Amino acid sequence: MRLHVPDFEMATMQAGHTWRLLDITDSFAHWMAAHEYREAYFEQPDDIELALGDYAKYVAEEVEKALEAPGIDEHTVVAILGVGSLFGLTQSSKLFEAVAPFIRGRLLVFFPGQREGSNYRLLDARDGWNYLAVPITATDEV
């Protein structure tokens, strides 16, 4: 997928929209590196379960910042890459619910999962969620 991100950017700009890409792949590493108790979590990894709510807030704030950055308007496509890195840490559905009020233009999510109708499932992990979205697939199926 990452190989084709520049193609999405070019098509977006050719359609008269501006483009912003946010890669959240390393967000957990950045959050953990700045965490006060990081050494303790490395010693006792099971204890991090208590702090994952804070990580969910952190990644939501990162996406909100991108959605509210200067130059972002109703003609901007903000693309999010790296959603698969949330697997096991937080639910992508909760992230999208948290940032939905901040979307001014379009939010493009490169989603590593499955779709059945309007039901999306990240990496086949749990029952998916229904989301008002327009899928872009490798086939003509919608």
- The reply to whether 2 falls in a domain is no
* Number of domains within the chain: 1
Q: Report pTM.
A: 0.82
- The reply to whether 6 falls in a domain is no
- The reply to whether 21 falls in a domain is yes
The range of the structural domain enclosing residue 28 comes to 17-130
- The reply to whether 7 falls in a domain is no
- The reply to whether 1 falls in a domain is no
Instruction: Tell me the mean pLDDT in the region 113-122.
Output: 68
Report the percent of the chain where pLDDT is more than 90.
53
Residue 112 confidence class, pLDDT cut points 50, 70, 90:
confident
- The reply to whether 135 falls in a domain is no
- The reply to whether 77 falls in a domain is yes
* Cα–Cα separations (whole angstroms), residue 27 to 32, 55, 61: 8, 9, 11
pLDDT tens per residue, range 47-81: 888 889 999 999 999 999 999 999 999 999 999 99
- The reply to whether 50 falls in a domain is yes
Question: Which residue in this structure is represented by tokens 């990162």?
Answer: 62
